[in-house]
Amino acid sequence: MPFPEIRHCLICEDVRLERRRLGSLLGFYGTTPDVEILVQDFSLLVERLAFLFMGQRGDGQYRVSVHILYGPEEAIVRSPERRVTIPDAARRYNLAVRLDNVRFPHPGLCTLVLLVDGQAHYQTTFEVRKGEPADFD
């Protein structure tokens, strides 16, 4: 069976796995493509950024990574590949990927690409913009 089709992507600061197969989202930004990430200072790093890819059924072993790009050429993140095993084709599969210390160099529209075995499997966008001081109080 192929890697699950991704239906939605949520962006937050972190995803924690809890008991009973529950997940907790921390610092929820929203669901792509209607997400804005507010940056206070573009010279500083965003400490944590997590993506929750919500998929359909699948099984097998895969190598996954994410890329974040401004336009087609300017890659700002290319995460290392990690191995993922989906053990049960009867269940829907969700994949959480957390990135640490991301630098967004300027405001703009970013493209998020989920790669599976080196091939683009899912692509979406989100907006990065400079927040106002009141956004960070």
Which range of residues forms the domain containing residue 12? Answer: 6-131
Q: How many domains, the chain?
A: 1
Residue 61 forms part of a structural domain: yes
CA 54 to chain centre: 11
For every one of its 137 residues, what pLDDT tens digit does the chain have, with 9 covering 90 and above?
789 999 999 999 999 888 887 788 999 999 999 999 999 999 999 999 999 999 998 889 999 999 999 977 788 999 999 999 988 776 788 899 999 999 999 999 999 999 999 999 999 999 999 988 888 88
CATH number at residue 87: 2.60.40.10
CA atoms of 64 and 21, how far apart (whole Å)? 21
Q: Kindly report the pTM of this predicted structure.
A: 0.91
Token pair of 125 as six digits: 């966008």
Residue 136 forms part of a structural domain: no
Residue 55 forms part of a structural domain: yes
Residue 42 forms part of a structural domain: yes
